Amino acid sequence: MLTKKVAAIGVVAIIIIAGTVWGISSLLKSRYLSASSGDSMGTMGLTSKSDKSNKLSKEEKAEIEESCPNQETFGEHKGTIVNNKLKVKLEVTYFNTSDVNAFISERDGLSRSPSFVRAPTTEFTARLEKLEDQGLASIRKQGESTSAMGEMAEVSLERNPSDSFAAHAASVSGREYMRTLDRQTRVSVAETKMPGEAHYLVSLISYLVDVEKGQKSVDLDSTFFLCTGQTAIFKLASNKEIARSGTGRNYVAITMHSIDKVQ
């Protein structure tokens, strides 16, 4: 009788152990399958991104990587091949606004807000005109620049806004010329081989000029894509610029009007 009870207890114990092992095995298997599924999705995502990047040639990738400013190249732009058969027509607008949320919102704080936005030129023009009519914005200077494709053109802001862009460059020495400027800005446009719509690589570098200290410092260095009929709008948000702009904000906008063949 005792032997039968022991045997029965042994059978029950075996069943319990087997059930426990099966449960653990099932749990581990489900977790493994979930992890494998997640890895597969991650791999698919990476593959998808890789496929997109592989559509660009090695030359195009190198062109984009080299053109992006970093800690070592900030303020230093390599020259590009100048194509005198194409002329680039840009319009540069320097303006300020008392509405700190105009064009680029600062609701999350200035340090957490972007300083660049791209918009159709028609929208930019209409928005700026509306702000002017409301007394919230004023254009400090607006002028056009025509240069060869790949040529670095100067589109600086003079301390006297009535002066034309780089009007003193040819007749005034470097140090004296800098004394006439509020901001020195240079921009160039380069061709790209991006598929689809015609995008151009725009290189922009701008120096804040401190006449009293007799020095200038780079506070805007950007390379970006732009199509004709688009405007790139930059909020000048360096500490020195914010200090001298007071409660308002200063902007510079680059509009690409046209790319034409030289007849």
Confirm if 120 and 231 have CB atoms less than 8 A apart.
yes
Break the chain into its structural domains and give their ranges. 1-55, 60-261
State if pTM tops 0.95.
no
- Cα gap 187→147, rounded to integer Å: 10
* pLDDT tops 70 at residue 166: no
What mean pLDDT comes out for the span 145-167? Answer: 79
Pick the most confident of 11-20, 59-68, 102-111.
Answer: 102-111
pLDDT for residue 127? 95
Cα–Cα distance between 229 and 121 in angstroms, integer? 6
Amino acid at 164: S
For the ranges 90-94, 103-107, 116-120, which has the lowest average pLDDT? 103-107
What residues contact residue 223 under an 8 Å CB cut-off, 6+ apart? 67, 68, 69, 201, 202, 203, 204
The whole-number pLDDT of residue 158 equals 86
Q: Is the dihedral of CA 39, 44, 47, 49 positive or negative?
A: negative
Structure confidence at residue 114 (pLDDT) = 87
Higher-confidence residue: 163 or 248?
Answer: 248
Rounded Cα gap, residues 154 and 166, in angstroms: 6
| 110 or 226: which leads in pLDDT | 226
| pLDDT tens profile 198-239 | 789 999 999 998 888 778 889 899 999 999 999 999 999 888
**Structure-model confidence comparison of residues 23 and 148, the more confident one:** 148
Question: What pLDDT band is residue 64 in, cutting at 50, 70 and 90?
Answer: very low
